[in-house]
A and B are shown apart, each in its own frame.
Chain A
Amino acid sequence: MDALGASVSAPTEHPFSGAAEARWVAPGRLVEASRVLREAGYFFESMTCVDRIAAHGVFELIYTFNRWEAASRVAFRVWAPATEPVPSISGVFGAANWNEREAWEFYGLAFSGHPNLTWLLLPEGTEFHPLLKSFTAPPASSYDDSLTAPPPPDDAHPPAHH
């Protein structure tokens, strides 16, 4: 890992616990750094996106990897500028495919090289990013077409007669 030079200096003092090793990785070195772990026998454990736009203008991405034998968690912390795509690691770990789709739909963060960057948990076509701190509530018509659809013609539902 150190030979790769993948680490960058910490952009924040925010402490991380619960991992044997937590290191800052530059977005550009993410793919090769995760490939090192893949080849060393690590499995993909989790990926989290944290909105730090108000304070720093970035998303903090936290990837954790672990080993089956002699569990030893490694966390990658990536300081990702909100407007620049992050390289996808879905070619290295299959699990990243869904996790990156989730970060994309919930935060609007793009991943370059992702094979199918589309909605996963949210309805197709959702135009807001609900896990952004700036998000409060969806527009009124987001999920209910009846609110925006034109009213049916009068003869569509003739009054019942008995």
Chain B
Amino acid sequence: MRTHPPTTDPLDTYTLNMGPQHPSTHGVLRLLLTLRGEEIVTAEPVIGYSHRAHEKMAENRTYAQFLPNTSRQDYLSGMIYNFAWVEAVEKMAGIPVPERALVARVILAEFNRIASHLLWIGAFLLDLGAPTPFLYCWDDREAILFLLESVTGSRLTYASGRFGGLARDLDADFPRRAREVIAKLRARWPEYDRLIEDNVIFRNRAIGVGVLTRDQCRSYGVTGPTLRGSGVPYDVRKAEPYGAYPRFEFDIPTRPEGDVFARYWVRVQEMRQSVRIIEQALDQLPGGPFLEPGSIGVKKRLKLPVGTQYYAVESARGHYGILLVSEGGAEPYRAKFRTPSYPNLAVLTEAMPGTLVADAVAILGSTDLVMPEVDR
């Protein structure tokens, strides 16, 4: 792709500022691009615009008080983040979780993953100049948000996990409504394939563009669909199975090319795998309590034993890790959130040089960044 040797001669290059308010950055991200003609020589992400000090806040709140913060890190897969916090605390404190809650969490988390991928597809295609998919994806996503709202009371920033279960039970009608949403989603897939995957304009903008090598992914800790688009079948749900995931059958879609198209394709296939998981979970949804009887309510003070624990889940964007340090108090001594968008953005400093400025938008979009998650 590169037509000239790299240069740092200031007379040969110029600097282009992209963002922090740019329609394609989806949040507040600034890219400092050094260009020669249309070729990117260096790309330096400038971040921190939506830093809210979640890690400092965690040190000043009880474990339960931090629950609403979790879904505000990645507001597109907030359910997964919320459950990750709950599960990390449960694991460290040794709190049992009823079977029904474990399976219900998987159902809610996988619906949230599909909603996140749908939003990404719509917004990403919009970046590339295709407004139609956006409207279809929004319609599908709305059905999911409506379903999740009926259980949790929230559309986006969920806080429905509780230490030892869930805040509210899935109602008796939930499986029927969930299957209706699945039928709606499934009916749309062939349309998406014809509209997007077979579209020659999209293919020309995506195939062979923004290739991430496996070694770059390893060096930066790239995970999630972005990594699986580079042919690596790494998924925390399989690598370190948690919750009720071990009892469901699903595949990890991968594609070896490592380009924008591969990352698109992986996410589309992942939605189908999520539906597979949800259908099994609905079939197997056990009865019984949704919250461990006599479990620790949000108002009681929960203290964790002294120690450090690392706990990871697979969010819609990749490996989300929570490192909790407890000194035995009612608040964490330290809570570190290893968010997947952070390395997925950092790697672009290596992946962007040598590409054209017109491709920068496609490459940036294909990594599915959520800036509040990068900045925390």
Contacts and interface: CB of A to CB of B under 8 A. Distances in A.
Interface of A: 14-19, 38, 41-46, 48, 50-51, 62, 64, 68, 71, 73, 75, 93-95, 97-98, 119-123, 130-131
Nearest to B337: A46
Given A62-B308, A131-B55, A50 B346 contact: no
5 contacts: A17-B308, A46-B221, A68-B233, A94-B349, A131-B55
A51 B336 contact: no
B219 A121 contact: no
A94 B48 contact: no
Interface string B326-363: 00000001101010001100110110000000000000
A131 B307 contact: no
Contacts of A48: 323, 325, 334, 336
Contact of B311 (A14, A18, A122): A18
A101 B106 CA distance: 36
B187 interface: no
Given A43-B221, A73-B310, A98-B342, A119 B334 contact: no
A60 to B, nearest CB: 8
B56 interface: yes
Contacts, number: 103
B110 interface: no
B346 A95 contact: yes
B11 interface: no
A146 to B, nearest CB: 20
A73 B309 CA distance: 12
B347 A94 contact: yes
A15 B53 contact: no
A58 B196 CA distance: 54
Given A48-B336, A50-B334, A121-B48, A17 B219 contact: no
Interface residues of B, number: 44
Given A15-B307, A17-B308, A95-B346, A45 B56 contact: no
B163 interface: no
A51 B349 CA distance: 30
B235 to A, nearest CB: 10
A62 B308 CA distance: 10
B220 A94 contact: yes
B275 interface: no
Contacts of B232: 68
A41 B217 CA distance: 11
A131 B220 contact: no
A63 B234 CA distance: 20
Contacts of B240: 71
Interface string B309-329: 111100000010101010000
B329 to A, nearest CB: 12
A75 B310 contact: yes
Nearest to A121: B48
Contacts of A18: 309-312
A46 B338 contact: yes
B179 interface: no
B51 A121 contact: yes
A122 B325 CA distance: 23
B374 to A, nearest CB: 9
- Most chain B Cβ neighbours within 10 Å, of A14, A50, A98: A98
Contacts of A68: 218, 227, 232-234, 239
B309 to A, nearest CB: 5
Given A62-B323, A95-B346, A50 B218 contact: no
Smallest CB-CB A-B distances: 6 pairs: A18-B310, A71-B239, A121-B48, A46-B338, A48-B336, A68-B234
